[in-house]
Amino acid sequence: MLGVLAAADVEFVEQPLAAGDLEGHAELRRHSTVPIVADESVHHRDDVPHLAEAFDAVNLKLAKLGGPLQALAALRTARALGMGVMLGCMIESSLGISAAVHLAGLADWVDLDGALLLAEDPFSGLAWTAGTVERPTGAGWGVVEVVQDTAGSPA
């Protein structure tokens, strides 16, 4: 299917095989013109060097890596190894997404929509327009906690 995906101008394929199958991913990579991106194989910044032979890029998720400093270290390692970088997310509040937004300019691809999947986000301050999230300008990460009144409604 990689040839079909390449003909369709697919930008990349994310973790097509099981996380532990580095040999299989390396074999796919040898035969693909579509970049292969690690996702489930990335849990710690020290994982990145072990993935360089099997993947073209890594999907870095701050919630999995332990925060923005760990993600930045993983990003720098990936770049030193000639790898591409995607910033992704889990389903998380605007607080976590905001931290990742501050690193977005260093990535090749960005997928930071996790807060949009929440029924109620306990933070406000991020704005999405036409599929683009803007870097917040407030203090710290730029988001503020939504204060609930005693009935559970935003105050």
User: What is the 3-class SS of 72-91, one letter each residue?
Assistant: HHHHHHHHHCCCEEEEECCC
Q: So what's the pLDDT on residue 150?
A: 59
**pLDDT by residue for the chain (155 residues), tens digit each?**
888 999 999 999 999 999 999 999 999 999 999 999 999 999 999 999 999 999 999 999 999 999 999 999 999 999 999 999 999 999 999 999 999 999 999 999 999 999 999 999 999 888 888 878 877 777 778 888 888 665 666 65
Q: Are 35 and 16 in contact (CB under 8 A)?
A: no
CA–CA separation, 96 and 155 (whole Å): 22
Q: So what's the pLDDT on residue 11?
A: 95
Q: So what's the pLDDT on residue 128?
A: 83
Q: Are 10 and 35 in contact (CB under 8 A)?
A: no
Q: Which token pair is 3?
A: 């040839």
Q: So what's the pLDDT on residue 51?
A: 98
CA–CA separation, 147 and 47 (whole Å): 38
Q: So what's the pLDDT on residue 47?
A: 97
Q: So what's the pLDDT on residue 125?
A: 85
Q: Are 13 and 33 in contact (CB under 8 A)?
A: no
CA–CA separation, 133 and 11 (whole Å): 20
Pick 2-118's CATH classification: 3.20.20.120, 3.40.470.10, 2.40.50.100, 3.30.110.60: 3.20.20.120
